[in-house]
Amino acid sequence: MADLIKESRPDARRVVRILSSLPRNVWVVTLTSFLTDVSSEMLVWILPLYLNNVLGAPMAAIGLIEGAAETTASLLKVFSGWISDRLGQRKWLAVAGYAISTLAKPALLAVLTWRGVLAVRIADRIGKGIRTAPRDALVADSIDASQRGLAFGIHRAGDTAGAVLGVLIALFVVANGQASSSSLSAPVFRILVVASVVPAVLAVLGLALLARDTPETGNRGPGQRLGLRLIDGRFRFFLLAMVVFTLGNSSDAFLILRAQNVGLSLPGILGMVLSYNLVYALFSGPAGALSDRVGRRRLLVAGWLLYALIYLGFARVTAGWQAWALMTVYGLYTAACDGVAKAFVADLVPASDRGTAYGVFHTAVGLAAMPASLLAGILWQGIGGWPGWGPSAPFILGAVIAVLASIILMLTGKRRQTLHQV
């Protein structure tokens, strides 16, 4: 982590020069993600509280909702990525995906059961499934390999800056509309749903009006078949490590519920999430730039080992302030891994397969997220007549699996690699 801090202190003029050299698409996609996260982060962190506090949903149901939503998105990502490769167009698929998610949000005003929330979450994730792979490929197509990590880091930083603003708005609404600080009320949730629609609409308009498909996206190889050319050894073993890691990486909803479990108030939970997003936003850019210098794999392994330590901490936490501190450090893990993993995908495949590669990557990870979240809910509270093992169990499992995934990634690092420059 000392290297990360050192690399994050370059000369100010050099920083301005580097940032000004980034292509237009990087900034447009970053703005789109910023606005989208302003919208989504008003809701995503309090949704598990709404399910538990207002609708009375059991832990297993919350795990099912989060897992099923991500799995739905994942099943679409590989096809949307492949279609973007075949058509040579990234932009309009991404715009369509953002638009579908925007249209789904107001439906939360009408649902009164956790099954209704499940349906809305699936609709929202259909939009995410359509947009994610083309959007990531659009960023990768627009940047030289030497700045790939930086570009994805800047994108994640903008995304997370939107999350910071979204959480601040949620915190303001909660502070002014809640009679109780211990649980969420239905009226406050509905206010946030209405407020979330405005930045979501602006995000769709911004991407539609300002982004441009790059010439490289039209250069498709003849007779391309879904996924066959890109499942070589390097990409396959990276996917294996990612899937293993994800099997222990249950939804962050369980981090929120764990914080409430040890006594953190609703404003405290939103403050905790704000700290997490601030750290995530501040370190995403430097982490991406560092991966350009020291290698993606080394940074991913370090991040996963940090994740294991954080999850062990959540397993042992006994007070709200401890959960807050751990969640803040969790932002450093996310900054070190999220954008870097996406940049690593572009390193491992040629440009003509990039949309498909991102689709396969997101699909594999999302399919693993379904059992991860469902199992976390069952381990915590049990299901049917089978008792759970308590709130510590999902986090212990996540820590063990993260270490296993780190070992796999380190072992596959010995394989010969070729960096795809375009």
Mean pLDDT of 94-113: 92
Tokens 């579908």 belong to 100
273 near 45, Cβ under 8 Å? Answer: yes
pLDDT of residue 377: 79
The type of residue at 396 is: I
pLDDT of residue 203: 94
117 or 9, higher pLDDT: 117
389 or 385, higher pLDDT: 389
Mean pLDDT of 312-331: 93
Stretch among 27-31, 79-83, 326-330 having the lowest mean pLDDT: 79-83
Query: What does the pLDDT look like over 55-66, one tens digit per residue?
Result: 888 877 877 787
Domain residue extents for the chain = 24-218+229-412
Structure tokens at 65: 């909702």
Cα separation, 139 vs 132, whole angstroms: 11
Cα separation, 384 vs 321, whole angstroms: 33
Q: How many CB atoms lie under 10 A from the CB of residue 136?
A: 29
Cα separation, 343 vs 366, whole angstroms: 18
Structure tokens at 285: 């850019």
345 near 357, Cβ under 8 Å? Answer: yes
Structure tokens at 392: 């510590």
Could you tell me the CATH superfamily of domain 24-218+229-412?
Answer: MFS general substrate transporter like domains (1.20.1250.20)
171 near 156, Cβ under 8 Å? Answer: no
Cα separation, 100 vs 373, whole angstroms: 24
223: phi then psi, degrees, rounded to nearest 5: 65, 30
Cα separation, 270 vs 253, whole angstroms: 13
pLDDT of residue 64: 79
Structure tokens at 279: 């750290």
pLDDT of residue 150: 77
C-alpha distances (whole Å) from 418 to each of 60, 345, 349, 388, 421 are 43, 12, 9, 46, 9
> What is the percent of the chain with per-residue pLDDT over 90, rounded to a whole number?
25
Indicate left, alpha or beta for 152 from its phi (over 0: left) and psi (-120 to 50: alpha).
alpha
Mean pLDDT of 183-200: 88
CA atoms in the 13 A half-sphere facing the CB of 339: 35
234 or 335, higher pLDDT: 335
Concatenated DSSP letters of 23-37: -HHHHHHHHHHHHHH
Q: pLDDT averaged over the chain?
A: 81
Query: What does the pLDDT look like over 140-152, one tens digit per residue?
Result: 787 777 777 777 7
Question: What does the DSSP 8-state code read for residue 58?
Answer: -
pLDDT of residue 228: 41
